[in-house]
Structure 1
Amino acid sequence: MIQWDLYGTIAIRLGLALLVGAILGLNRWLHHKSAGIRTHSLVAIGSATAVMLISDFVKDDAQSVSRVLQGLITGLGFLGAGVIIREQSSQKVHGLTTAASLWACALIGAAFGAGQFVLGGLSLGAILVTLFIGGPLEKLLSHITGIKRGSEISGDPD
């Protein structure tokens, strides 16, 4: 017997993870960064899948869910490290914002996978606000204070 309500819930959770990955990936793609729509979407979908596997099929085992989340957080550190580049000639670092968006994307995917739709939606909103106004705000503060920091030195908005 097909359980349509279960499959509908799975589809909604995965669909929302895909959507959040595509939105965050689009932002990174528009800024010509190495991890774009596909990478962010895959990270979010994979995270949602991992959380659904453990939370929906291993009932009442908080330790199992905790281990899955710990694994996601740790594993995404390695993926994020792959998009961080340090130029040898100038010692400038690029890709930190993209690495952080991948990490956050994984956790939002995990939230949707766990059925925490409000948490996932609010997290997406907070991250988008940060990505859209963070760079201009940093430039404005640098202009006002005269302090050159981080990406402002290299001219890279990441």
Structure 2
Amino acid sequence: MLRIAAAGLCGAIIGYERKSRMKEAGIKTHFIVGMGAALMMVLSKYGFMDQRDWDNVSLDPSRIAAQVVSGVGFLGAGMIILQKQTVKGLTTAAGVWSTAGMGMAIGAGLYIVGGGAVVLIVLGQTVLQRSIGRLGQAAAEHVGIRLEDREDAMDDLLAKLKELRVSLVAIETHRDDKGGLAVDLSIKLPSSCDKENVISALHGLRHVRRVEWQ
């Protein structure tokens, strides 16, 4: 029970980071995944001790544990969604899968390995998101936006970019064949904002028809 409780606590720590950023799975989900994985590992190791004295009985203590690795993938798949042409939830799904691995390690009695995994997962979801994640991106991002032909549509768009602290490098506008306004932007994202947040915020504007990240 100590191992299961410890795994649940470590899972809650990982879930707190996800919850603080308003992601799909939070404290309760990671808490239960960590405890469940530890429970399965404890069961796999000690649940059949009374069967070992039987003749002609072959037991493999890794079978239940192996099913956790593949089975938790279905839970992660349910967190990955396609919203407005943008895939969301991949990092959270990977975090849940890693949380299950952490729970299995603690369930097996590998407390240092499990605790170290918690530290690495949380660091990977925070520090890398803020700094190293920007190294692989281009200096300027190109976004195509289709607006309704309204007088305040462009003002709302520019105000939202300013609110997000997005730097506007270049802008081109022209009328499209559907009576709307086509806006081509070259922007630079601040370290505190990522692509998904910008797309979600732009889609939330009342006069925006479509956002295409090029």
Q: Which amino acid aligns with 1:50?
A: M
The two structures have a TM-score, normalised by structure 1, of 0.78
Residues 89-109 of structure 1 deviation map (CA, whole Å, 9 limit, x = unaligned): 4x2100001101100101101
The structure whose residues are more often helix, as a share, is 1
2:80 corresponds to: 84
Letter in 1 for 2:79: V
Q: 1:84 to 1:113 in 2, by over 3 A?
A: same
Q: Summarize the alignment of residues 58-97 of structure 1 with structure 2, pairs less than 5 Å apart.
A: 58=48, 64-87=60-83, 89=84, 91-97=85-91
Letter in 2 for 1:155: N
Gaps of 5+ in 2: 53-57, 142-192, 199-214
Which residue of 23, 26, 36 maps to 1:33?
23
Distance 1:63 1:130, change over 3 A: farther
- The residue correspondences of 1:69-148 to structure 2 (distance < 5 A) are 69-87=65-83, 89=84, 91-142=85-136, 145-146=138-139
Contact 1:44/1:105 (<8 A) preserved: yes
Q: How many aligned positions are there? A: 141
CA 121–138 in structure 1, closer or farther in 2 if over 3 Å, else same: same
Q: Does 1:23 align with 2:13?
A: yes
Mark the runs of 5 or more structure 1 residues left unpaired by the alignment.
1-9
> Larger % of strand: which?
2
Mapped to 1, the partners of 2:106 and 2:135 lie a distance apart of: 35
Q: Deviations over 1:42-67 (max 9, x none)?
A: 1110111111011023358x973322
CA distance in 1, matches of 2:140, 2:37: 39
- Alpha-carbon RMSD across the aligned residues, in angstroms, is 2.5
Over the matched positions of the two proteins, sequence identity in percent amounts to 34
- Write the distance in 2 (CA, Å) between the matches of 1:139 and 1:110: 29
Normalising by the residue count of structure 2, what TM-score does the alignment of the two structures yield?
A: 0.59
Q: Comparing both chains, which one has the higher relative contact order based on Cα–Cα distances under 8 Å and sequence gaps of 6 or more? A: 1
SS at structure 2 position matched to 1:65 = coil
